[in-house]
Structure 1
Amino acid sequence: MTNGSALPRPFLPVAAWYTAGPSRATMVEPLGPDGDDIVRRDLAHLREAGFNTVRGWIDWASGESSPGEYHFEALDRLLRHAGEMGLRVVLQLYLDSAPDWILQEFPDGRYVSQGGQAIDSQGSPGFCYDHPGVRQAAEHFMRAVAERVKDHAAFLAYDVWSEPHIVQWAYFDYLPQPALFCYCHHSKQRFRRWLKGRYQDLAALNRAWYRGFVSWEAVDPPRFISLMTYTDFIDWQRFIIAKITEDLAWRARTIKSVDPVHPVTSHSAVPAVMVTPLVEQGEPDDWAVTKVVDIWGTSFYPKHVGAKETADPAVRGAYLDSTRSACASVGKPFWLGELQGGHGYVGTFAEPVTAADIRAWTWGPISHGAKGLNFYAWRPMSRGYESAGFGLTHPDGSPTERSKAAGEVARLVDRYADLFAAAQVPQADAAILWNNDANILWGCLREKSPYVPSRALLGVYRALFERHYPVDFVHPDQIAGVAGGAQGRAARPVHEEVGHAGAGGDAGWAGHDVGPGAALGLAPGPEPIEVGRYRVIYMPFSIMVRRDVARGLAAFVEGGGTVVAEARTGWNDEAGVVDRSVPGSGLRELFGAQEHWTAGRRDLQEPVVLFVDPAPGVSGFEGGRVTGAFYQQALEPLEAEVVGRFQDGEPAVTVRRAGRGQAVLVGSWVSLAYHVQRDPASGAFLAGFAQAAGARRPVLVEGASPGQVEARLSRGETREQGPFGILYVFNHSADELAVRLAVDPPAGAGRFELRELTAQDGRPGALGSGKVHQAVVWPGPDGRPRIVLDDVRLLPWAVAVVLIRPE
């Protein structure tokens, strides 16, 4: 089907998790003599609802009850019945639910905490893959699974690691918190090898750590943070991040050694921008792991109990845009590995979910560019800490309004799969730097909560989101690439340890590298992001900055970009050392200013007040009082102009013009303050830099309060349809709204037809019954050529999806 022959019809998997009756992941429970009837009935309901894919699972514990004795009966049954009903199958592979015989075979294979406690697995977390025997046994199992499924016509893809951590799905309340892993003999040896690669010789390590090791065997992973230096703990956190990436590559490589055709995927528990490395025993770097699998993604639980902010549309948008951006850094597609399907039941707490929630949660990821959705789960959880939660159906598998709503969207996506597969989210003009080096330093400062780092990023995102500016997130490595002449663009890699299949052929979409999985009809990723194309980069939480990143930022500014940084940027360099100034690492020269003195305010409700002057060309903010948080950093201008002051008259905001661009330094955390306090002036101040830099807004919205309406525009082109756009409009309020939209046309001037896809099947639409409307391009409110739609009526909590194409 490749090498010039026609590819299959584009296919976007919209799946629900299901394996065997009421069995909940990761478990595969026997169903008895009527098992075939139960699975057939459940899959029939799933198919009738509108889903085109089922996401099954197999765990190592049930799949290999003794060495070399495999039990794939439930997997065979799922594949057989799914194939009979025309459903594709995505397979979740669980190694961390490991068989108990591993302990008898390898008594030293247990995870060991920083306190020396060896952890017995109780269904999880399994055993340490740094142990060569455990690793080899896991490889045998993975290969056996791949051999079993690879030739089945219904099989579509693997997910080789659900929510990667060092250890997972277990609560070690009896250990010191946070519990760190792994300190077994084999993990120590691996850490030493990593250190040798980083420092080359022992003398360099001793200088960096301020230690006196006499041999590499004497080097031990750090277990605590000392007063004088935390370079060792910085290295430990970086090692854990690298270890997760390498272990994911190992799993993918093992599967690909047997099956090089079907895509290998994985997904995080929470996007990296929302967490810090010490949370949940290690967190992956989204930008690193996306290089070693064909498709990366995230779990997405807007009403998971305890995640109080995730129902917020701006927070949901950041979840999705950050995952999309990580994948787009290397031109990969992203999927939602887990999408909340039902009520959030966790322990004694609960949060209801409605059909309207499901519609918004389904269209939300698609509008952000997701090319696959996997609802968790078809049936509610039958056991454990999440009992009765997260299912689309009732516990007996019968339909609910939620399952019907999800199925309606699935059916519509499948009907227009060629359009949704080809549509891509264009690179934005504004980007937010996710600086995991700063998050590492945050942990070294004995700060365990990810709240401040993530909410600083969310403050910038919210300010732009509410004003309809698209936003990307970028990684320090992408910034560093600008100084290296690569303009921050990472070529689409074909990872030598993983490999990709399915490139080439006669795609149903036009002018695009079809990418991995194309031979199966799966959608491609976007063109890789180029940092040099951004107009403005925000770096709201960057208390540690590498020198190569500082050089990349300087090159970006010289080339005409705007950089906006906040208090204590570049406080430490990559080794955890203060440079000759704050900011350091060469940033003092970029910003033309340095720290004079700093006062810290830990109470986020205690405002830091800044008075900002109008600065045309620097910011679209008209000037006035702005609220900051956490720090008052008095700045000393060296080669910079002061454009804002604190209440006491000390310089608070400076700007230095360099080359064709400019670098702005703000002496407080306005971004964090805006997320917490929502001061309108602070939001306007943050968004003003994007406005002044000329950042595009593909859709303008009039007639709604900030945050009430979200409007997004994807673009695509197919050989059959030509250029087109898909407009998504979300009413995030309980009010019926009448708004005016001004939309970038998908092609040049002319006449366009608009069809509201979500108004079919008798449902009312924002444009009126889903019929075709004609629109003409004319100057919109901002003077740019726009398709202007007056009196678009949005029902409470409604989603409108509108196809736009030339007549």
Structure 2
Amino acid sequence: MATQQPERPLLPIAAWYAAGPSRATMIEPLGSDGEAIVRRDLTHLKESGLNTVRTWIDWASGEPEPGRYDFEALDRVLRLAQELGLRVILQLYLDSAPDWLAEAYPDSRYVSQGGQAIDSQGSPGYCYDHPGVRQAAERFMQAVARRVKDHPGFLAYDLWSEPHIVQWAYFDYLPQPALFCYCHHSKRRFRQWLEARYGEIDRLNRAWYRRFSSWESVEPPRFISLMTYTDFIDWQRFIIDKITQDLAWRARTVKAVDPVHPVTSHSAVPAVMTVPLLEQGEPDDWQVAQVVDVWGTSFYPKHVGARETADPVVRGAYLDSTRSATASLGRPFWLGELQGGHGYVGTFAEPASAADIRAWAWGPIAHGAKGLCFYAWRPMSRGYESAGFGLTHPDGSPTDRSRAAGEVARVVDRHADLFVSAQVPQSDVAIVWNNDANILWGCLREKSPYVPSRSLLGVYRALFEHHLPVDFLHPDQLATGRPTPVPDAPKLLAPGRAAGVAPGPRPLEVDRYKVIYMPFSIMVRRDVARGLAAYVQAGGTVVAEARTGWNDDEGKVDGSVPGSGLREIFGAQEAWARSRRDGDAVEIEVAPDPVVAFEGGRIKSAHYEQALEPLGARVIGRFASGEPAVTVHDAGRGRAVLVGSWVGLGYHVHRDPAAGRFIAGFALAAGARRPVEVEGLPGTAVEARLMVGETRQEGPYLLVFLFNHTPEPVAPRVRIAVPWSTRRVAVAELTGDARHEAAVQADGSVTLERALAGREIVVMKVTPA
């Protein structure tokens, strides 16, 4: 019989743990005192305040011989967790695969673009396109599901940690980036994908400018040609689809045995921060979110070498983009991995404090996360992350970090109905994440995600600093209103119907956005251009950057830049373009105009000077040479703005205040709402976030989160837009005991004053009085 789900709402706050000092994906063999060690560790985890343990099983140790399963460590965690009242999330690691697979299937190794077959050294395992490997993996996954599905404490599966084509291996001896997989099974799968896409070999030949006689003669591209890169565009699109379909396969396999419990997965880095050529394939968050009950991401603000993520703006973009991908479907998101301790990688180190843990936990919750999984309970015991990332000391004893994580968990558990039900409302402003442009970036022999991601981050930063909440959009949403459905997606659970899966938000609607920003959109599909035209005609404002629509779907210049029909939308085209080094400022003189709430003046941009030729648009900005740099075109009831430079990247690099006001000014001029605003302080010193909810017991309510990101005490005035017709509101601090009432002003807002100590975080519930 299926496990009966508890009635009480649950927002799981977990820590990764399997057996004593084990590091994922490994299971450390324990001696005769193993039971006592695990019991002690799980007791400390429970006493800290966490409500869930996230354990794991790897294929190599779970099936040491074909058909012989070893679930001893898993059984022990399930049993002891139940005794202690902890729920259990299970991580399945197929990529840590048993060596007997290579003996049974010698042709199952991954093959690089250079033809090198890769032996697995604990990872990356073997190619799932091999039918024997796939069938063996199915048997193992279903054996695990049968083992856990009826256990009373079992909560959910995570089927794939940080999906890539190959996992956790560094092929320094291969040309970089190393591309996979070119085994004959993967080649066959690519040909099938091409046949489904093109239908006829002649259509493929026209697109690729080739002369193949049959599908069997098609070879996947291994390099980039000077003449055409349509083949390489298709290869990158295939890899993205392959990751999605492989995750869907895992979900269908487990759900065939256990349709009751949620299946989840999580990315290494949100899609907006990366490009498809990185790390042997990167998933599209908007695609993969369709094939699991809960999608999420890893979140390491102080992972060594990633110092930028200590910035609350960058952290916000990570979280808002992941939320937006799942909210496009009306589904929730989790953090599959949340940094729990010091960042140790090789000889490099970065400390983490209790204050860090509080900020890293409350931040995701304020951005809508419905589950947190700290990585890990104990620090890593082996490998190049040794002694890193744990909430506890290496011996498992508690630390200030583990106590801080427990403090957050206790508050969330105490008010679980509020935190489970509350949602981040749809914003008035959206930023387009254009993975088609990222694919083209790879075809231009650019491997770094810096320019694409920092172009988005610059726009996000300007809006963040002006207290304008932001959603992210996928090009498919512009084309059809929602992400393109994934074929053969598994049947998923309705959010809120299973314990641990919170209700999802109302799905995001493109026509509700007042302004859509399109940074770094050097490739635009024709269907996306048509959707964008409809949005503008209906009254929306779009703001795009230099070389938007430079290439079309197949990687060709389509008559003009911008192409694909965008020239008519923007009423302008490229006259000429000159590139600059990113560190060199491109200056633009902008005149006052009703389309932008900007006083006028000089702004700093980056990378391109694209002189614009107006074709019905009016010019509101010029380069120092006098050439048109910013145009506005009125179309229907809306308007399209084209900036002949990369102003988002420029703001990220130069932090020119005038450029920040210019970017945010389009949203402000269009009437974008600021539901919660901090008065009189710089945009990133104090961050304020708002969620909206309603429960049967509480009625309607707001959750207001205040973060002091500085080490110094501050006394902000916070103005909140109240969505109710009431004269007074009641304010109760969930992170403390303070309670009071406040008057609602004539404009429907409430002003709250709350002194904050250095790095203090306050969570308040606001209800009609």
Task: Place the TM-score, normalised by the shorter chain, in its bin.
Answer: over 0.9
What letter matches 1:226 in structure 2? S
Offset of residue 772 of structure 1 = 1.2
- Of the three residues 498, 502, 518, the one matched with 2:490 is 498
- Of the three residues 765, 771, 774, the one matched with 2:738 is 771
Offset of residue 496 of structure 1 = 5.6
Offset of residue 757 of structure 1 = 1.2
1:531 corresponds in structure 2 to: 510
Offset of residue 310 of structure 1 = 0.5
Alignment of structure 1 residues 279-318 onto 2, 5 Å:
279-318=278-317
- Of the three residues 532, 542, 546, the one matched with 1:567 is 546
Secondary structure of residue in 1 paired with 2:307: coil
1:724 corresponds in structure 2 to: 701
Offset of residue 517 of structure 1 = 5.4
1:681 corresponds in structure 2 to: 658
Query: Does the Cα contact within 8 Å between 2:5 and 2:498 map onto a contact in 1?
Result: no
Alignment of structure 1 residues 563-602 onto 2, 5 Å:
563-601=542-580
Query: Does the Cα contact within 8 Å between 2:163 and 2:243 map onto a contact in 1?
Result: yes
1:788 aligns with 2:747: no
Q: For residues 556 and 302 of structure 1, what CA distance do their matches in structure 2 show? A: 36
2:588 corresponds in structure 1 to: 610
Offset of residue 734 of structure 1 = 1.4
Offset of residue 122 of structure 1 = 0.2
Spell out, residue by residue over 1:426-448, the C-alpha distance to the aligned partner (whole angstroms, 9 max, x if none).
Answer: 00000000000000000000011
Offset of residue 751 of structure 1 = 1.5
Secondary structure of residue in 1 paired with 2:749: strand
Question: Percent identity among equivalent residues?
Answer: 73
Offset of residue 706 of structure 1 = 2.3
Offset of residue 622 of structure 1 = 1.0
Alignment of structure 1 residues 663-742 onto 2, 5 Å:
663-742=640-719
Q: TM-score, normalised by structure 2?
A: 0.99
1:805 corresponds in structure 2 to: 767
Q: TM-score, normalised by structure 1?
A: 0.94
1:472 corresponds in structure 2 to: 471
Query: Does the Cα contact within 8 Å between 1:422 and 1:718 map onto a contact in 2?
Result: yes
Q: For residues 486 and 50 of structure 2, what CA distance do their matches in structure 1 show? A: 31
Alignment of structure 1 residues 93-492 onto 2, 5 Å:
93-481=92-480, 488-489=481-482
Query: Does the Cα contact within 8 Å between 2:341 and 2:390 map onto a contact in 1?
Result: yes
RMSD: 1.4
Q: For residues 724 and 275 of structure 2, what CA distance do their matches in structure 1 show? A: 42
What letter matches 1:755 in structure 2? A
Query: Does the Cα contact within 8 Å between 2:341 and 2:391 map onto a contact in 1?
Result: yes
Offset of residue 771 of structure 1 = 2.1
Offset of residue 497 of structure 1 = 4.1
What letter matches 2:244 in structure 1? T
Q: For residues 773 and 669 of structure 1, what CA distance do their matches in structure 2 show? A: 47
2:635 corresponds in structure 1 to: 658
Q: For residues 247 and 635 of structure 1, what CA distance do their matches in structure 2 show? A: 44
Q: For residues 17 and 483 of structure 2, what CA distance do their matches in structure 1 show? A: 37
Query: Does the Cα contact within 8 Å between 1:7 and 1:518 map onto a contact in 2?
Result: no
Q: For residues 414 and 545 of structure 1, what CA distance do their matches in structure 2 show? A: 45
Q: For residues 549 and 63 of structure 1, what CA distance do their matches in structure 2 show? A: 46
CA gap of 1:355–1:521, structure 2 versus 1, over 3 A, is closer
Secondary structure of residue in 2 paired with 1:477: helix
Segments of structure 1 that go 5 or more residues without pairing to the other structure are 482-487, 502-514, 760-769
2:596 corresponds in structure 1 to: 619
Q: For residues 367 and 496 of structure 1, what CA distance do their matches in structure 2 show? A: 34
Segments of structure 2 that go 5 or more residues without pairing to the other structure are none
Secondary structure of residue in 1 paired with 2:498: helix
Q: For residues 426 and 250 of structure 1, what CA distance do their matches in structure 2 show? A: 33
1:518 aligns with 2:480: no
Spell out, residue by residue over 1:209-233, the C-alpha distance to the aligned partner (whole angstroms, 9 max, x if none).
Answer: 1111111111000000010000000
CA gap of 1:496–1:167, structure 2 versus 1, over 3 A, is closer
Spell out, residue by residue over 1:145-170, the C-alpha distance to the aligned partner (whole angstroms, 9 max, x if none).
Answer: 00000000000000000000000100
Secondary structure of residue in 1 paired with 2:305: coil
Secondary structure of residue in 1 paired with 2:345: coil
Secondary structure of residue in 1 paired with 2:220: coil
Q: For residues 193 and 487 of structure 2, what CA distance do their matches in structure 1 show? A: 20
Secondary structure of residue in 1 paired with 2:528: helix
Q: For residues 5 and 50 of structure 2, what CA distance do their matches in structure 1 show? A: 25
Q: For residues 612 and 657 of structure 2, what CA distance do their matches in structure 1 show? A: 25
Q: For residues 494 and 277 of structure 1, what CA distance do their matches in structure 2 show? A: 18
Q: For residues 373 and 448 of structure 1, what CA distance do their matches in structure 2 show? A: 31
Offset of residue 494 of structure 1 = 11
Query: Does the Cα contact within 8 Å between 1:652 and 1:668 map onto a contact in 2?
Result: yes
2:605 corresponds in structure 1 to: 628
Spell out, residue by residue over 1:43-96, the C-alpha distance to the aligned partner (whole angstroms, 9 max, x if none).
Answer: 000000000000000000000001000000000000000000000000000000
Query: Does the Cα contact within 8 Å between 2:392 and 2:401 map onto a contact in 1?
Result: yes
Alignment of structure 1 residues 15-30 onto 2, 5 Å:
15-30=14-29
Q: For residues 652 and 755 of structure 2, what CA distance do their matches in structure 1 show? A: 29
Q: For residues 480 and 7 of structure 1, what CA distance do their matches in structure 2 show? A: 41
Q: For residues 649 and 308 of structure 2, what CA distance do their matches in structure 1 show? A: 14
Secondary structure of residue in 2 paired with 1:228: coil
Q: For residues 434 and 380 of structure 1, what CA distance do their matches in structure 2 show? A: 35
What letter matches 2:652 in structure 1? H
Offset of residue 323 of structure 1 = 0.1
Query: Does the Cα contact within 8 Å between 1:334 and 1:369 map onto a contact in 2?
Result: yes
What letter matches 2:730 in structure 1? E
What letter matches 1:500 in structure 2? L
1:763 corresponds in structure 2 to: none
What letter matches 2:761 in structure 1? V
Query: Does the Cα contact within 8 Å between 1:490 and 1:529 map onto a contact in 2?
Result: no
Q: For residues 726 and 303 of structure 1, what CA distance do their matches in structure 2 show? A: 27
What letter matches 1:499 in structure 2? K
Offset of residue 14 of structure 1 = 0.2
